[in-house]
Structure 1
């Protein structure tokens, strides 16, 4: 029986989602909780990676088990998990359903504060300089004209293609600062943080929005801006076709 887990986690204490040989990951902690509860060796497969320090408001993972989960499964797993990881829901899916390959879209947010805020030091990036938000939104619209985003990808990666279909990308002004929203069918490693870093340079007047065309066409990571810190980034939503759910 294959199940989809819906998870949320605060990423500060973890070296990302994926299991690492010499660091604690979210995947490792969740697997240990499930193995303790179900008393069997099992592996979970996530919808994708998140880097060290990145948070997730919603991430899905699948696992197989022959044992019934029981009515109080969520409560029992959450009792075993640390306070910064929560299991939100569990649903049975078709045997071939895959948390990574069946996902049709993923959404991220990047949070910025304009003033020093001690209550958001682990959830938002403090940018001290004034930002040209209109120019940043002009740059965000340019992203929708392209598919190949090699310029925003981590240099050493094993992907077969750098193509991503971005559905929307825009900056929202909030009472405390800004939130960048972006949704696509897939993302490259470090892609959102590199995009945000580039747009912050545009916002600070170091380059213009139109320079985004040259950066993307170059396919060169060194042409784009520096990646922003991980702690302001949230994976917020992953969508699937309803046909995989039982």
Structure 2
């Protein structure tokens, strides 16, 4: 078997997340169908992670195996041309950026050493941000939100922000970045970590919004994290504002 990585992006509005599932259209299902047609053999991809229904990705990686190598001496050139052929088989909401060979043990999910997300929210009604950002009606104390966000780097156990009953062995993550900044007539939250739990980013943003509304102070924010209890944290914010924007690997520059 010959292993390849593909880098892609997608608008998640019309999909039930990345992962294939019965009776629902997913990004993985559509991608695998296009890859299978183009390479003329059944292809089952493995993604770098899961995104939930309505969540977007500006950078996402997946790996897949082929029984025969695609191309020989001019393999790189053929793979560059393959991108156009694969994209022609995909809906406009999914775009493959590149396809490249990797070692047989390379793994899109387990080899990733960091991931970063953005969360977008805006304050004034804007039809061009529909399904791409969360419309928040109110005033937020962004300075207090950033003070609370900085506290995330002091902890590793984020059970309080995780969806219950997930198939994970640990709720420990190492967060290296977490901050809000002005963006597109609203705010953009950036968070980077070695791994993320199910629903984690949306729950963190929902809790930080409570800080911004002055309903939760910094001491209480610490107590929420240390409680390891999801019921103490804020509600998950809508999926429309969440983007997976960066996935890094030790073997990719």
The TM-score bracket by the shorter chain reads over 0.9
* Structure 1 unaligned regions, length at least 5: none
Q: State the partner residue of 2:58.
A: 57
Paired position in structure 2 for 1:143: 152
Runs of at least 4 residues off by over 3 Å? none
- TM superposition shift of 1:205: 1.2
Q: Secondary structure at the match of 2:145?
A: helix
- Structure 2 residue matching 1:154: 3-state secondary structure: coil
Q: Which residue of 120, 142, 149 maps to 1:133?
A: 142
Report whether the alignment pairs 1:68 with 2:77.
Answer: no
Output aligned runs, 1:90-129, within 5 Å.
90-129=99-138
Q: 1:194 aligns with which of 199, 203, 207?
A: 203
Report the equivalent of 1:224.
233
Paired position in structure 2 for 1:180: 189
Residue 44 (str. 1) matches residue 45 (str. 2): yes
Residues 139 and 210 in structure 1, CA contact (< 8 A), matched pair in contact too:
no
Offset at residue 156 of structure 1 (A):
2.1
CA distance in 2 between partners of 1:179 and 1:31 (Å):
32
What's the TM-score once normalised by structure 1's chain length? Answer: 0.97
Q: SS at 2:237's partner residue?
A: coil
Q: In 2, Cα distance between the equivalents of 1:175 and 1:208? A: 27
Query: Which residue does the alignment assign to 1:11?
Result: 12
* 1:152 alignment counterpart: 161
- In structure 2, the CA distance between the partners of 1:175 and 1:19, relative to structure 1 (3 Å rule), is closer
Shift of 1:175: 4.6
Tell whether 2:245 aligns with 1:236: yes
Q: Which residue of 2 aligns with 1:87?
A: 96
Alpha carbons 1:38, 1:67 under 8 Å: kept: no
Q: Which residue in 1 is equivalent to 2:28?
A: 27
**Cα-to-partner distance string for 1:109-155 (whole Å, 9 max, x where unaligned):** 00010111111011110111100001100110110000000000001
2: CA distance, partners of 1:15 / 1:174 = 27
Distance in structure 1 (CA, Å) of the matches to 2:171 and 2:184: 35
Supply the distance in 1 between the matched residues of 2:39 and 2:4 (Cα, whole angstroms).
13
Q: Distance in 2 between matches of 1:185 and 1:168?
A: 11
* CA–CA distance in structure 1, aligned partners of residues 27 and 69 of structure 2: 23
Q: CA deviation at 1:210?
A: 2.5
3-state SS of paired residue (2:137): coil
Query: How far apart, in 1, do the equivalents of 2:17 and 2:31 lie?
Result: 13
* Per-residue deviation, 1:74: 0.3
CA contact (8 A) 2:7 2:60 kept: yes
